[in-house]
Chains A and B, each alone.
Chain A
Amino acid sequence: MRLATERIRELARDMNLTLSELLERAGVSRTAYYSLARKSSVVPRSIDALAAALDEPVSGLLEELPPRVVAAQRICAQDPDASFENVWHVLTLLEMNPIERLNRSLTRGRTTTAHR
């Protein structure tokens, strides 16, 4: 499977982005992008081999990452100083309402004290 470079350009255009702007937003360097674009297959050879042995398309062997993980990866790609674990945790907490977040923090505080 090759990188669908024309499709990527089209999708970027639909969002009023140039390719450079898209790469910047995604936190992907031009070197990394063009290196992928030149490859005859972006799928590791072992996955291609597994797919062939199973007579399945490669896409049938892959699972999508949960949206929260993708969001955390995107933030960390744009800000290398960020810790993936912290970012993922914050995104998890932001899905709760404030009182749940506070109660969770206080409950863990109590547990920490009880275990001392």
Chain B
Amino acid sequence: MAAPPPLTDKEQAFLRALVEEDVRFLIVGLAAAALQGAPAVTQDVDLWIDSLSSPNFRRALKKLGIVYVEPTMQNPPLMVGEGAELFDLVVHMHGLESFDQEAVHAKKIAIGDVDVDVLPLERIIASKRATNRPKDRAILPVLEDTLRVLSRRGTDD
């Protein structure tokens, strides 16, 4: 039997809780690129949250019984609980402006019945260029070709 898709009702419920509690967040990284049409492979969904200490964020987690684990010297911040395993918390994006400045240009994309803010492809590319690890350099041509298609479609539409 085929495995269920990674983004099930539980993961959507998690995103819905963030939106309902007015948590300011952006989907970033390759998941954001995939949402916009890039043929990119990823294992998790990176969430850039404006403030991990905001009461709204903590309320959203509590609603779903998800536990927040503070970062340590060795580990990044974590969430533990059903529906949260797929998501990684990002506290800084290389090569980008502040959360507020980037959020202004976010794209609203529907994931099922939840509309979420997604970092635009141009800014994902800027971040990958700044991070500049081998895996970032490897994916850049794919992201740039995706941007070419999206720009072309924008012109044609």
Chain A residues close to B by CB (< 8 Å): 75, 78-79, 81-83, 86-87, 89-91, 93-94, 97-99, 101-110, 112-113
Contact B141 A83 (CB under 8 A): yes
Within B31-83, the residues touching A (CB, 8 Å) are 31, 34-45
Q: Mark B9-34, 1 if CB is under 8 A from A, else 0.
A: 00000000000000000000011001
The A contact surface, by secondary structure, is helix
In whole angstroms, how far apart are the Cα atoms of A95 and B123 in the complex? Answer: 23
Which of B144, B148, B149, B150: most chain A CB closer than 10 A? B149
Q: Does B111 count as interface, using CB distance less than 8 angstroms? A: yes
Q: Does B138 count as interface, using CB distance less than 8 angstroms? A: no
Number of interface residues of B (CB under 8 A): 33
Among A75, A90, A106, the residue within 8 A (CB) of B43 is A106
Chain B residues close to A by CB (< 8 Å): 3, 5-7, 30-31, 34-45, 86, 109-112, 141-142, 144-146, 148-150, 152-153
Say how far B59's CB is from chain A's closest CB, in angstroms: 25
Among A75, A78, A79, A107, the residue within 8 A (CB) of B5 is A107
Which residue of A has the minimal Cβ distance to B147? A90
In whole angstroms, how far apart are the Cα atoms of A44 and B125 in the complex? Answer: 43
Say how far B85's CB is from chain A's closest CB, in angstroms: 12
Among A82, A93, A108, A112, the residue within 8 A (CB) of B37 is A93
Say yes or no: A107-B6 contact (C-beta < 8 A), given A99-B111, A112-B41: yes
Contact B41 A87 (CB under 8 A): no
